[in-house]
Amino acid sequence: MNWQIDLITLLLVIICGIGAISVKDLLGASILLGAYSFLMCVLWAVMGAVDVAFTEATVGAGVSTVICVAAVFQTTRRAKN
Amino acid sequence: MKKLGLLTVVVCGVLLLLKTAEFADWGDPNSPASRHLSPYFLENSIKDSAVPNVVTAVLADYRGFDTMFETTVILAAGLACFFILRVRKTEKPKSTYYRHVPTATTLRIIEGAVLPEQSKVFKRIDSVWVPFDLILATTCKAIIPFIQIFALYVIAHGHHSPGGGFQGGVVLGASIILMAISRNLGAAIAHLKEKTTVLMAMIGVFIYAGTGAFAALAGKNFLDYSTLATVLGVDEIMARSHGILIVETGVAIAVMAVMVWIYYNLSSAGKQDEGL
Share of chain B above pLDDT 90, in %: 30
| Cβ-defined contact of A73 to B129 (cutoff 8 Å) | yes
Collapse the DSSP code of A1 into the 3-class scheme (helix H, G, I; strand E, B; otherwise coil) and give the result. Answer: coil
| Cβ-defined contact of A51 to B173 (cutoff 8 Å) | no
Domains of chain B: which residue ranges?
45-90+132-267
> Rounded to an integer, what distance in angstroms lies between the CA atom of residue A42 and that of residue B188?
31
Q: Give the residue on B whose Cα is nearest the Cα of A48.
A: B27
Residue type, B262: I
Mean pLDDT, chain A, rounded, equals: 88
Segment holding B183, helix H or strand E: none
Question: Span B18-31, mean pLDDT?
Answer: 82
> What was the pLDDT predicted at B153?
92
- For A50, the domain range is 3-73
Instruction: List chain B residues with CB under 8 Å of A74.
Output: 266-267, 269
Point out which residues pair with B97 in neighbouring strands.
Answer: B108, B125
Q: Is A81 inside a domain boundary? A: no
> What was the pLDDT predicted at B202?
93
Q: Is A61 inside a domain boundary? A: yes
Question: pLDDT digit string (tens) for B145-181?
Answer: 999 999 999 998 888 888 888 899 999 999 999 988 8
Residue type, B187: A
Collapse the DSSP code of A25 into the 3-class scheme (helix H, G, I; strand E, B; otherwise coil) and give the result. Answer: strand
Residue type, B75: L
CB nearest to A71's CB, from B55, B56, B266? B266
Count of structural domains, chain A: 1
Please spell the DSSP secondary structure of B228-263, one letter per residue.
Answer: GHHHHTS-HHHHHHHHHHHHHHHHHHHHHHHHHHHH
Q: Using CB atoms within 10 A of its CB, is residue A39 exposed (0-12), middle (13-18) or buried (19+)?
A: buried
Dihedral over Cα of B41, B43, B46, B51: its sign: positive
Label each residue of B79-134 as H, E or C.
HHHHHHHCCCCCCCCCEEEEEECCCCEEEEEECCCCCCCCCCCEEEECCCCCCCCH
> What was the pLDDT predicted at A81?
63
Q: Give the residue on A whose Cα is nearest the Cα of B151.
A: A58
B119-148 residues touching A, CB cutoff 8 A: 129
